[in-house]
Amino acid sequence: MEKRGMLYEGKAKRIYETNEQDILWIEYKDEATAFNGEKKDTIIGKGRLNNEITSIIFERLREKGIENHWVKRLSETEQLVKKVTIVPLEVVVRNIMAGSLAKRLGMDEGTVMDTPIVEFYYKNDDLGDPLVTEDHIQVLNIATPGQLENMREMGLQVNEVLKEVFATINVRLVDFKLEFGMTNDGELLLADEVSPDTCRLWDKDTNQKFDKDVYRRNLGNLQDGYQEILNRLGGSSCTK
Ligand code: C5P
């Protein structure tokens, strides 16, 4: 596989074309950002940790029958994925009250919800990624009702698998964000990443945070928590 020209550089990743039309080459960066890019830092090792953790998670999801864009890990910071056109929605699934929902509803973080909840946010930096309803999504014309239903269902399925994966390593899956894309064949596929950048992960016994809130809230060293998650998941799966 050959790496070709860069297609896109985001906050946390660079995406390149390859000599295969349907495969992209992703490089995870050491940059951390929060609050729509207002807080920004280089954190050495973050790219490696997210690439490794995402690779393990996508592989586990596939083993459990949840298809996704991940193809192969290439190196500590690189992976291959299937090419998709990203649907500009963030699908957030929550098990425990935290973050923006705790703020929106004026509730304490840590309340366990009876059933998981699913929210959609419109991916738009200029608007600050607002929460949107299904009717808003129809007005925006960015996903059909059928696609939305699929994203909700897949979000809940991912939640069931990941709750179990994290429970076995003594971690509570508080909430997480997913992104989906459309393949050239018109298939809706789970894409982007699933890592401590995109999940809230609390130690089951101490509630210690092992996720990006450590960075957002200046709670200490972000890499330590991410490394702890990687270690508990069984460490690197890299063959190269
Ligand atoms: O901030 P909020 O409580 O809405 O975040 C919910 C979940 O989605 C958290 O796990 C957070 O890390 C993730 N998220 C994300 N990218 C965003 C917004 C939220 O990964 N742009």
Ligand 1 atom 18 nearest Cα: 177
Q: Per the structure, how many domains does the chain have?
A: 2
| Nearest ligand 1 atom to alpha carbon 98 | 3
Task: Residue 220: count other Cβ atoms within 10 Å of its Cβ.
Answer: 12
- What is the per-residue pLDDT for 236? 67
- Please list the alpha-helical segments (H only) found in 168-235: 213-216, 222-232
Q: Which atom of ligand 1 is nearest the CA belonging to 129?
A: 21
- Assess whether 48 and 121 both reside in one domain: no
70 and 96 in a common domain: no
Cα 15 from Cα 10, distance rounded (Å): 8
Residue 199: exposure state from Cβ atoms within 10 A (0-12, 13-18, ≥19): buried
Segments forming the whole domain that contains residue 68: 3-82
226, part of any domain: no
CB of residue 90 inside a 6 A radius of ligand 1: yes
Last residue of a domain, which of 47, 82, 117? Answer: 82
Select the more confidently predicted residue: 238 or 76: 76
Nearest protein Cα to ligand 1, atom 16: 198
CATH of the domain at 51: 3.30.200.20
Tokens 């982007």: give the residue: 192
One domain, residues 115 and 61: no
The one-letter code for the residue type at 29 is: K
Mean pLDDT, residues 164-175 taken together: 98
Same domain, 165 and 191: yes
Bridge-based pairing of strands 171-182 and 23-28 is: unpaired
240 in a structural domain: no
Distance from the CA of 92 to the center of ligand 1, in angstroms? 7
In percent, the amount of the chain with pLDDT more than 90 equals 97
Residue 87: the pLDDT is 98
Q: Is residue 104 in a domain?
A: yes
Q: Is the pLDDT of residue 238 over 80?
A: no
Does ligand 1 lie within 6 Å of residue 178's CB atom?
A: no
Domain CATH for 157: 3.30.470.20
Q: What is the pLDDT of residues 188-231, one digit of tens each?
A: 999 999 999 999 999 999 999 999 999 999 999 999 999 999 99
What is the rounded average pLDDT for all residues in the chain? 96
In the three-class reduction of DSSP (H, G, I as helix; E, B as strand; rest coil), residue 173 is classed as: strand
209 within ligand 1 shell (Cβ under 6 A): no
pLDDT tens column, 83-130: 999 999 999 999 999 999 999 999 999 999 999 999 999 999 999 999
**179 and 66 within one domain:** no
Residue 40, exposed/middle/buried by CB under 10 A (0-12, 13-18, 19+)?
A: exposed
**pTM to 2 decimal places:** 0.97
Of 11, 90, 92, 200, the residue with max ligand 1 atoms within 8 A of its CB, to mutate for a pocket test, comes to 92
User: Is residue 43 located within the same domain as residue 147?
Assistant: no
pLDDT of residue 239: 37
Rounded mean pLDDT, 14-39: 96
